[in-house]
Amino acid sequence: MGDSQYSFSLTTFSPSGKLVQIEHALTAVGSGQTSLGIKAANGVVIATEKKLPSILVDETSVQKIQILTPNIGVVYSGMGPDFRVLVRKSRKQAEQYHRLYKEPIPVTQLVRETAAVMQEFTQSGGVRPFGVSLLVAGYDDKGPQLYQVDPSGSYFSWKASAMGKNVSNAKTFLEKRYTDDMELDDAVHTAILTLKEGFEGQISGKNIEIGIIGADKKFRVLTPAEIDDYLAEVE
Amino acid sequence: MSRGSGGGYDRHITIFSPEGRLFQVEYAFKAVKAAGITSIGVRGKDSVCVVTQKKVPDKLLDHTSVTHLFPITKYLGLLATGVTADARTLVQQARNEAAEFRFRYGYEMPVDVLAKWIADKSQIYTQHAYMRPLGVVAMVLGIDEEYGPRLYKCDPAGHYFGHKATSAGLKEQEAINFLEKKMKNDPQFTYEETVQTAISALQSVLQEDFKATEIEVGVVRKENPVFRVLSTEEIDEHLTAISERD
């Protein structure tokens, strides 16, 4: 891919054996808005801050949490435009799998293929790594799953994870609050409390986004009204 | 030949700097400001209006050929702020894409689809070394069949958002501050109010009163969803209405 003039990798090893472009990509992720995910016993919740640059921006035109398949959703921290590219590629991969095998793509497979794309961009000629980390939430035959994928292309399954600006506080908070037998509703409350920890300003249904998937295996993004209801319960 | 942060190439092509920034993208934003023009867009209840300065640097220039307002299709308009040459390339590609969309799918390309296409193309330039980002901020306007009047802004980084009102160019931040005050309580502007808010925002921010030949105004209205560039007479009417109001 890319022009022949740039048929060499821009991501190369430093003398100490590090791939510095990937490290810089992670720095870009670390300065992005906080997002997190929690795996409950009967579902998964992912959430993110939705801070827009001005009140003039129409917040209904922006959706950070995206659906990849009816039972898999994804959120990111980092560079929005890079995220759109990955969403598009992942959706296509999921659809191609379905066309070939006549069944919905398992969460692990989709994560693996998306991660492979991200890895390609750390090795191919003339391109830079993606400046996003993804949190993929899905529910298939193996139950609820939560995966985090990094700009390097490496991915891990998590019980709960956070990314972006407030990552260390958020992870500490999650470690304290997480229990293996959490229900989905508890997980949503915990997610909101975690976001609230590092939130600057007044939290509301308009400046955070929450996506959930339960045993019905249907991923959906909560409406601002539903988020406000959860917020009232948390108060 | 060293690559990566040590080599200093992070300023020449779009690879990450040690702080995780893309300098080429940031420089593209500076190029938009360097063009020295400010543009404003306002979305009303059933119309969208965009306004920009028309600076003709030389009297010998044919002033009708100096423009930043481009129809993409009959129903979609694009206001390009920044490097004029990059703007023309973008407009040409957008026109092609919109025409192919109409042919392929049998209905007119919606505003947000065009905005997303422009933004996705801009994202490619931020990730591939062989093409630099374009020094253009594009405001796309049109009447959407479902959602009504829509105004989108696409920037060199590949971001795009829908806006109730926005600005681009040299005095972008001042204009946004002005517009935030005006749009605070979600006013539902009529067509005349929309146009006059946009023009008076530009006048206030640049602190000068315009003649009709010094600005360009483009509109789309629900009752006539065609993208139209206003004539100097129409602009004059609005300017008069603004000065009489004050």
| Closest C-alpha among B46, B36, B95, B28 to residue B224 | B46
* H-type alpha helices, B128-190: 172-182
User: Does residue A67 form part of some domain?
Assistant: yes
Model confidence pLDDT, tens digit, residues A56-93:
999 889 999 999 999 999 999 999 999 999 999 999 99
Residue A200 lies in a domain: yes
DSSP helix/strand/coil, B217? strand
Q: Which of B6, B20, B112 sits opposite A27 (nearest CB)?
A: B20
pLDDT at residue B123 greater than cutoff 90: yes
Would you say residue A74 lies in a domain?
Answer: yes
Report yes or no on A69 lying in a domain: yes
Q: B226: domain range?
A: 23-244
Distances (CA, A) of A189 to A208, A227, A231: 13, 10, 8
pLDDT, tens digit (0-9, with 9 covering 90-100), for B136-169: 999 999 999 999 999 999 999 999 999 999 999 9
Size of interface A-B (CB pairs under 8 A): 126
CA closest to B185 among chain A residues? A55
B7 touches chain A (CB under 8 A): no
In whole angstroms, give the CA distance from residue A17 to residue A34: 30
Domain membership of residue B229 (yes or no) is yes
Q: Is the pLDDT of residue B231 over 90?
A: yes
DSSP string, chain A: ---GGG-SBS--B-TTS-BHHHHHHHHHHHTSPPEEEEEETTEEEEEEE---S-TTB-GGG---SEEEETTEEEEEEE-HHHHHHHHHHHHHHHHHHHHHHSSPPPHHHHHHHHHHHHHHTTTSBTB---SEEEEEEEEETTEEEEEEE-TTS-EEE-SEEEESTTHHHHHHHHHHH--TT--HHHHHHHHHHHHHHT--S---TTSEEEEEEETT---EEPPHHHHHHHHHHH-
From chain B, the residues in CB contact with A55 under 8 A are 180, 183-184
Has residue A208 been placed in a domain? yes
φ/ψ of residue A18, rounded to 5: -100, 150
Find, in chain A, the residue whose alpha carbon is nearest to that of B187: A56
Residue A95: per-residue pLDDT: 97
pLDDT in tens, A174-232: 999 999 999 999 999 999 999 999 899 999 999 999 999 999 999 999 999 999 999 99
**Does A19 map to a domain?**
no
**Is residue B9 one of the residues assigned to a domain?**
no
Q: Does any CB of chain B come closer than 8 Å to the CB of residue A127?
A: yes
Q: Measure the CA–CA gap between B156 and B30, rounded to whole angstroms.
A: 10
pLDDT digits (tens, 9 = 90+) for B93-110: 999 999 999 999 999 999
Q: Is B162 on the interface with A (CB under 8 A)?
A: yes
Q: What whole-number percentage of chain B has pLDDT above 70?
A: 97
CB atoms B158 and A26 under 8 Å: no
Does residue B214 sit within a domain? yes
- What's the CATH number where B118 sits? 3.60.20.10
Mean pLDDT of chain A, nearest integer:
94
Whether the predicted interface score ipTM is above 0.85? no
A13, part of any domain = no
- Which structural domain, as residue segments, surrounds residue A177? 33-234
Contacts for A209 with CB less than 8 Å, ≥ 6 apart:
A47, A48, A50, A63, A64, A65, A75, A221, A222, A227
pLDDT of A2 strictly over 60: no
What are the beta bridge partners of residue A39? A44
Per-residue model confidence (pLDDT) at position B237? 95
Q: According to the model, what pLDDT value does residue A3 have?
A: 62
| Total structural domains within chain A | 1
At A85, list the tokens: 């590219």
pLDDT of the residue at A176? 95
- A202 to chain B, minimum CA–CA distance in Å? 17
Percent of chain B, pLDDT > 90? 88
The structural domain count of chain B equals 1
**Helix pair angle (B191-206, B172-182), 10° resolution:** 140
Tokens of B122: 């801009």
Nearest CA in chain A to B184: A55
Rounded to the nearest angstrom, the minimum Cα separation between A94 and chain B is 20
Task: Note whether B218 contacts A: Cβ–Cβ < 8 A.
Answer: no
Partner-chain residue, chosen from B20, B116, B158, that has the shortest CB–CB distance to A28: B20
> Mean of the pLDDT values across residues A155-172?
96
Instruction: Write down the pLDDT at residue B2.
Output: 39
Q: Is residue A20 part of a domain?
A: no
Cβ A84–B119 below 8 Å, yes or no?
yes
Q: Which among A24, A31, A79 has CB closest to B18? A: A24
Q: Do B112 and A28 touch (CB under 8 A)?
A: no
Q: Specify which of A17-21, A53-57, B18-22, B168-172 reaches the highest per-range mean pLDDT.
A: B168-172
Best probe of the A interface among B128, B164, B166, by most A CBs < 10 A, is B128
Structural domain includes residue B18: no
Average pLDDT over residues A108-128: 95
Mean pLDDT is lowest, of A6-10, B59-63, B109-113, for A6-10
Q: Which residue of B has its CA nearest to A6?
A: B130
Whether chain B has a CB inside 8 Å of the CB on A16: the answer is no
User: For the domain that residue A131 is a member of, what is the CATH number?
Assistant: 3.60.20.10
Contact between B79 and B139 (Cβ < 8 Å): yes
Contact across the interface for B127 and A121, Cβ inside 8 Å: yes
| d(C-alpha B158, C-alpha B152), whole Å | 12
Q: Is A70 on the interface with B (CB under 8 A)?
A: no
Contacts B162 to A, Cβ<8 Å: 57-58, 60-62
Residues B47-65 have pLDDT tens digits of 999 999 999 989 899 988 9
